[in-house]
């Protein structure tokens, strides 16, 4: 079921979320949460969403990114569930992308993040998984998993001059963005 998106200013977006127990992970309630996340992400046009964005204080995010992105980079990550994820930065080299967020509607900001990461997590069946990503996918992963730590992309903008309303971004900057 589609849930309303919590926007910047809602305290749930600023707190570290709770880990999910294996019992809860295998429950019908958790399966419904995944349906709510997917329905909400699709409805609002995102490529990823984290539980706090729909008001749920749990460490789970989903991402779906298939085909060529706006940067000409092919990324093929089918709908993936990240439960209790742990992220490891594999390089100090950074890359920058213009990011947007369902919880910060109408804005875009240029964020530089580590170029390559490893994420260890449980999938929706409580099976341990590992994903190494670089480029655009690494940025998307960091963006979504930041939500589970109470961090929004606007917190990571190094230069406040690189924050723009969507309309001005499209008119004057003309660079692709992520949701």
Region of residue 55 (phi > 0: left; psi between -120 and 50: alpha; otherwise: beta): left
Q: How many CB atoms lie within 10 A of CB 161?
A: 8
Is 143 within any annotated ligand binding site? yes
> Has 19 been annotated as catalytic?
no
Q: Phi/psi of residue 33, each to 5°?
A: -60, -45
Is 101 within any annotated ligand binding site? yes
Is 6 within any annotated ligand binding site? no
Choice among 73, 88, 144, 179 that is catalytic: 144
Q: How many CB atoms lie within 10 A of CB 16?
A: 12
Q: Which residue ranges make up the annotated binding site for Fe cation?
A: 101, 143, 147
Tell me which residues are annotated as active site. 144
């Amino acid at each position: 079921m589609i849930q309303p998106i919590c926007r910047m200013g809602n305290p749930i977006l600023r707190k570290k979320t709770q880990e999910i127990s294996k019992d809860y992970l295998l429950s019908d309630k958790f399966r419904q949460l995944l349906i709510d996340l997917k329905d909400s992400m699709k409805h609002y046009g995102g490529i990823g969403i984290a539980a706090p964005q729909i008001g749920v204080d749990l460490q789970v995010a989903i991402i779906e990114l298939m085909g060529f992105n706006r940067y000409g980079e092919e990324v093929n990550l089918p709908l993936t569930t990240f439960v209790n994820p742990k992220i490891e930065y594999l390089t100090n080299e950074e890359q920058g992308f213009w990011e947007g967020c369902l919880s910060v509607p109408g804005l875009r900001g240029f964020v530089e993040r580590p170029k390559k990461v490893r994420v260890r997590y449980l999938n929706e069946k409580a099976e341990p998984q590992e994903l190494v990503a670089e480029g655009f996918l690494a940025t998307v992963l960091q963006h979504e998993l930041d939500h589970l730590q109470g961090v929004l992309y606007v917190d990571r903008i190094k230069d406040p001059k690189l924050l723009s309303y969507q309309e001005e971004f499209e008119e004057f900057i003309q660079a692709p963005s992520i949701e």
